[in-house]
Structure 1
């Protein structure tokens, strides 16, 4: 036997109670899937699309740490609401007549759509907004420690870069490998290093962020002859000068290789230490 309800075929020959725990679990797996399981497919699709849009809005404005906290809390709260709504709705359906949306194929399609939206939003966020990174070396000590988790802003081709910015760039030597360094020299400037002191256009630079772990002076590492940067080149160095592989060795970095600018630490290294709480959410400077 069969019939229709609001234009959707209804299977009147099968009545099965909805399981609240299963509805909640399905909404945990994919936002809105629990609603589809309960027969509310329009509501489920609406919840899924709302989360997608909310996620994009949050990540588009999360250059400030407080926005990240508020945004993540909003997303978590919305997901909890969807799970609870699915659970409560299922409890009310002790005698539920299966609908056309209660088919494995529909569930699978909905799950695939959820995954596709998730991948699309992840790609869009990383390409146009922000990306999460983990510092993998000690080349930026003391500013950045090995194991620090931080967010970086996507710069694009026209993003402004200024001296002192901590940037992420793709190594011209190793395709796909990202380096984290500080911008020292800008396009058109003349760079020189004399006995560990950086000179730009003949003027010595004050660099309070620098750490020198070795006192012996080595040509190429602690001293470098003058070189003038081209119109699309940047000279970058690690703050831990004697433990950094940077423009002193690989040369200036072309603008096209620079991808992100570091924003703030969202999970510093050494969790539980006193310094961890001080650095949590701190801007990378």
Structure 2
């Protein structure tokens, strides 16, 4: 009984504290992925490391960032930057178009973007001071398609590494 309590409740907490401590040694922060909305890039219950970002400099397209939003009830959520300020964006028959040009999305599995809301988004222009962010598992994610563009102030950092709980010594780079 005590062994089960330790393995299921205490060990994950100890492992997460160790991951946060290791991330801090590299001047980074860590948070857990709470859902599968970034699969296959990130898996639920993995830990991601992110470098704090204060809006000082542009983000790049396809970069994974950690955000907060009132709809996430205080949770920190990783999402991918797909639209930059000033660009027009739309999804037509599953293809993401930026300023009318198809953007290759090698991180996206077609089987995870089958719903109508994942395959078609009317044209929007990303306002100054905001970014259009989406999850890699489009059918499962509450992202800019639902919440609109994310203000710079909601973007907390740039994700660089991920690992399962207890695997912080072998963290992999995130792209």
TM-score (norm 2): 0.78
Alignment of 1:115-130 (within 5 A): 129-130=27-28
Coordinate RMSD, CA, aligned:
2.4
Determine which of 159, 164, 172 is the counterpart of 1:268. Answer: 164
Give 1:214 deviation, angstroms.
Answer: 5.3
**Secondary structure of 1:213 counterpart:** helix
**Secondary structure of 1:173 counterpart:** helix
Aligned partners of 1:245, 1:283: CA distance in 2, in Å?
Answer: 24
| Higher-strand-fraction structure | 2
Where do 5+ consecutive residues of structure 1 fail to align?
1-57, 63-128
Give 1:173 deviation, angstroms.
Answer: 2.9
Matched, 1:228 2:136: no
Of 175-184 and 239-248, more deviation after overlay is shown by: 175-184
After the TM superposition, list the runs of 4 or more consecutive aligned residues in structure 1 that deviate by more than 6 angstroms. none
Bigger CA radius of gyration: 1
Matched, 1:208 2:106: yes
1:196–1:217 CA contact under 8 A, matched in 2: no
Determine which of 22, 34, 40 is the counterpart of 1:136. Answer: 34
Tell me the matched-pair count. Answer: 153
| Larger relative contact order (Cα-Cα within 8 Å, sequence gap ≥ 6) | 2
Give 1:216 deviation, angstroms.
Answer: 4.4
Encode CA deviations 1:19-67: one digit per residue, 9 max, x unaligned.
xxxxxxxxxxxxxxxxxxxxxxxxxxxxxxxxxxxxxxx947x2xxxxx
Aligned partners of 1:132, 1:155: CA distance in 2, in Å?
Answer: 13
Encode CA deviations 1:231-255: one digit per residue, 9 max, x unaligned.
1110011111111111111111011
